[in-house]
Amino acid sequence: MLVSCTLKNDTVYLPTVAKTEAGFYLNREPVAVVPAAETDLLRSALHDVISRGNAVIPTPKRDAFPLPVLPKYAGEKTWSAFMRGASEWKIGEKDGNYEIVQYRKHHKNGSWVEDQDHKIEFPAGTKVDEVVERMIAILQAGSH
């Protein structure tokens, strides 16, 4: 399971994340847009997107690759404009083990990569509620 959380201008963007048959992930509709300060709404939105899981979809063809879904929710025209000033985290779960990883822009090629210095691995048996509460604390701390 993979969940994407993007914080921009005190707002959290939580897309539905699908896994392609090729194995990579894509952000899709629906997208929850929640003020970072609204703890109860943020908690509910995180639980909702986690409960959706990651549907497996056909791998899009190169000439039919979908446009990014998040920029329009922030009134931006491009992915790079949307990500300017944004911060991104992923919640991952495999075999009941959770982690939260912050992403950073790679200085050489501009892609977004895991920041191993900002990775939280939860002990086996950690409940999803604890992971959600930690993600909320991170997002609210990153908000202005």
Which helix or strand (DSSP H or E) is residue 80 part of? helix 79-83
pTM: 0.94
Give 144's pLDDT tier (boundaries 50, 70, 90).
low
* Sequence-ordered alpha helix ranges (H) in the chain: 39-52, 79-83, 128-142
% the chain with pLDDT above 70: 97
How confident is the model at residue 107, as a pLDDT?
Answer: 65
Structure tokens at 73: 């929710």
Q: What is the pLDDT of residue 28?
A: 96
CA dihedral (67, 69, 74, 78) in degrees, to 10, reads -20
Q: Which residues does residue 48 pair with via DSSP β-bridges, in sequence order?
A: none
* Other CB atoms within 10 A of residue 77 CB: 9
Beta bridge partners of 79: none
Contacts of 67 (CB under 8 A, 6+ apart): none
Domains of the chain: 2-142 (3.40.1590.10)
pLDDT at residue 113 greater than cutoff 90: no
Beta carbons of 76 and 38 less than 8 angstroms apart? no
Cα separation, 96 vs 124, in Å, equals 7
Quick: pLDDT tens for 35-79.
999 999 999 999 999 999 999 999 999 999 999 999 999 999 999
The token duo for 83 is: 């990500």
Residue 16's DSSP bridge partners are 28
